[in-house]
Amino acid sequence: MDVASRNKALRVGVLGAGRIGRVHTQILSRLGVTVVAIADPSEERGQSLAREFGVAKVTTKVEDIFNDPTIHAVLICSPTDLHAQHIHQAAAAKKHIFCEKPIALDLGVVDAAVHAVEAAGVKMMVGFNRRFDANFKRIRKAVIDGEVGDVGMIRITSRDPSAPPVSYIKVSGGIFCDMTIHDFDMARFLVGSEVEQVFVMAQARDPEIGAAGDVDTAVVCLRFKNGVLGYIENSRVAAYGYDQRVEILGSKGAVSCENNYPNTVTISTGTSIARDLPLHFFIDRYMDAYKDELSAFVDVCLDPRTAPPVSGHDGRQALKLGLAATRSMKENRPVLLSEFDAPPMVGRL
């Protein structure tokens, strides 16, 4: 069957018509996938998105999507605190699931959701879109192909152009579960090993963020089980814009990428040799990655033999790293990931 007919045959429901819901709906529409319905508590917001991409049905009740037997898969683009509930509902309704990160902010909740998915025999893919970025894919390839030999060290630089509102920060789970979680997944993806120990130095440059109980600047050190050392550097505020870079040092050399810019133009005047600011934020920077991510999800839904390239387990591991980093910061000590494994935790190491 040709790709167009194949994609059209896939019938999808989208939960959440916000910013990321809009991105995904647009991509599905361009891939020729049939978006059957959009659910959003705001009918107006749902209608607006549906109209833009020719989606026939809008509802304020997610059940309308779960109960539609013609729908094969759902995209969970709802607020984080609803992700797990929607996963359970989707699994019960035997829909394949694409869930934005994080699955939840509580490990037990994540575990239950992942188990529900497995029990239902549906597939779940978690939205770590950066794995599909051209730069990071190329770095992963260099690692796999041994272009830099055995990996010894990884650095991830990840800076946002500006902090989200304090109201959001308060419910975000903190920088490590909200922002760094992407970098934790990237570190695991690129190194191909699990992390054993985490140590964090952090601070709130912005007093409002500090007052909200969070930090905006952090260095996170990782020791992987295979001996690799990693460090992630985060900032909520890079005045020049979004900045996403990785560097790996291996026994045969190093592989690194530069940040992404809207063009390669240089303007040389009597004052400076300058170029334009980087691509502003994640929607611009990662649009191609979002496309490849959803293409992969479409393939996963349509081909029974394939497993999701980013699994519920990946979502769980990234969250665990976020929780360990949070604990390290609070207690100013290196934290073993194993502290989060053993129930019951007696005494705390």
Q: Does 83 bind its own copies (CB under 8 A)?
A: no
Q: Total binding residues for its own copies by CB under 8 A?
A: 82
**Cβ–Cβ under 8 Å, residues 100 and 129:** no
Q: Kindly state whether residue 281 participates in binding its own copies, applying the rule CB under 8 A.
A: no
Diameter over CA atoms, the chain: 67
Q: Residue 151 and residue 252: Cα distance in Å, rounded?
A: 9
Query: Site for its own copies (CB under 8 A): which residue of 61, 115, 225, 333?
Result: 333
Applying CB under 8 A, which of residues 101, 159, 285, 320 lies at the interface with its own copies? 159
Residues numbered 221 to 250 that lie near its own copies (CB under 8 A) are 221-223, 227, 229-231, 233, 235, 237-240, 243, 249-250
Residue 302 lies near its own copies (rule: CB under 8 A): no
When asked if residue 268 is in the footprint of its own copies (CB under 8 A), the reply is yes
Nearer to its own copies, 261 or 340 (CB): 261
Under the criterion CB under 8 A, does residue 259 sit at the interface with its own copies? Answer: yes
Report the C-alpha dihedral over residues 314, 337, 230, 189, rounded to 10 degrees.
-10
Give CA separation, 297 vs 21, 125, 126, 219, 287, in Å.
15, 7, 10, 33, 15
Alpha carbons within 13 A on the beta-carbon side of 107: 14
Is 218 within 8 Å of 233 (Cβ atoms)?
Answer: yes
Question: Site mask, its own copies, residues 177-216, x = CB under 8 A?
Answer: --------------------x-x-xxx-x-----------
Question: Which residues are CB-contacts of 5 (< 8 A; sequence separation ≥ 6)?
Answer: none
Q: 108's torsion region: left (phi>0), alpha (psi -120 to 50) or beta? A: alpha
Answer yes or no whether residue 272 interacts with its own copies by CB under 8 A. yes
Cβ proximity to its own copies: between 66 and 199 the closer is: 199
Choices 74-82, 90-98, 271-279, 301-309; region in contact with its own copies by CB under 8 A? 271-279
54 counts as binding its own copies under rule CB under 8 A: yes
Q: How far is the CB of 81 from its own copies (least distance, A)?
A: 31
Q: Do the bridges between strand 124-126 and strand 96-99 make them parallel or antiparallel, or are there none, so unpaired?
A: parallel
- Matching residue, tokens 């989200």: 164
Binding of its own copies at residue 167 (CB under 8 A)?
no
Q: Does 330 help bind its own copies (rule: CB under 8 A)?
A: no
Do you find a cis peptide bond into 344, omega within 30 degrees of 0?
yes
State the burial class of residue 189 (Cβ atoms within 10 Å of its Cβ: 0-12, 13-18, 19+).
buried
Among 254, 283, 339, 340, binds its own copies (CB under 8 A): 254
β-pairing, 151-159 vs 243-250, is antiparallel
Please identify, using beta-carbon distances, which residue of 29 and 311 lies nearer to its own copies. Answer: 29
In the complex, least distance from residue 121 CB atom to its own copies, rounded to whole angstroms: 32
- Measuring CA to CA, which residue among 87, 76, 83, 74 is closest to residue 12? 74
Q: Measured from the CB atom, is 155 or 170 closer to its own copies?
A: 155
Which CB, 2 or 307, lies closer to its own copies?
2
Q: How far is the CB of 175 from its own copies (least distance, A)?
A: 13
Report the 10 Å Cβ neighbour count for 272: 8
From the CB of 197, what's the least distance to its own copies, in Å?
Answer: 8
CB of 239 to its own copies, least distance (A): 4
Name which position in 70, 165, 265, 305 contacts its own copies (CB under 8 A). 265
Report the half-sphere exposure of 23 (CA within 13 A, side-chain side).
20
Question: CB of 109: closest distance to its own copies in angstroms?
Answer: 31
Instruction: State how far the Cα of 113 lies from the Cα of 315, in Å rounded to an integer.
Output: 11
- The residues in 137-156 that bind its own copies, with binding defined as CB under 8 A, are 138-139, 142, 147-150, 152-153, 155
